[in-house]
Structure 1
Amino acid sequence: VMSDTVNVASRLEGANKYYGTAIMASESTMAQTGDTFAWRELDAIRVQGRGEALRVFEPLAEKGTESAEQMKVATAYAEGLACWRTREFAKAADAFAKMAKTDPASALFAKRARVFTVNPPSPDWTPVNTLEGK
């Protein structure tokens, strides 16, 4: 099977290892599911073989059946991601740290944010993570 969609799906499957997730979907896939699932945005990524960034999401549960813990993780993560995107790295690290012990994606971002707190990225930095390989 060959196509851009298949290539992206393969790259997202591999990206799960990086974020510690089991399922990841592109924004277009998430939109196609309608109101079926509760999602959390994970990141904006650039995958090998594609120039533009993709916003990627993790399904949490069927809509309306999310646990209190899933909502707590998603809320803290969204707060951290918003701070990350506005270059408020110390605030982002604090937000991600709230759930880092139980959520691998939060732990990853907390670590990345702490690094940028000490060594800020260049002024032309964009909040897009470039993933190499599958």
Structure 2
Amino acid sequence: LVEWQRSLKPLDTTQRSLVSSKSIISPQSRYDQIMNIVHNREFDKDSYLKELNIDVNTKEMLEIKARVLSPPQVKYRARQGRGDAIEQVDCGKWKIRNWFYTTPEIQRWGIIYLGDTYDDRVKYILQSFKDQFPN
């Protein structure tokens, strides 16, 4: 590989750990970097910000109360109508141990337009929307 060339192969364990060590930054380091940028930038002396009447508080970051949410559950109908299946999301993905329910085919559908005017432009827009769907 040449520098900046992209590889399509998956990274091995050593490469992954190297990428992680270079790209993951601790919260304290990130905080320190942001505060250094804020202090070095000297927003209080910026004539453009003064002209626009913008004040940047450089003393401390805003602190808010927060909590970590529990991972969501994905609920869907199990195959062959055996009730609902619930899957736990883990690291942004979930294992679909069951199958998704097959939805029935839509035989007829329509569009209801509730606008004030119904002119050629609106007809064209609605027709274009309708034409995007199979007959």
Query: What band does the TM-score fall into relative to the shorter chain?
Result: under 0.3
TM-score normalised over the length of structure 2: 0.20
Of the two, which has the highest radius of gyration?
A: 2
Higher strand share: 1
Higher relative CO (CA 8 A, sep ≥ 6), structure 1 or 2? Answer: 1
TM-score normalised over the length of structure 1: 0.20
Higher helix share: 1
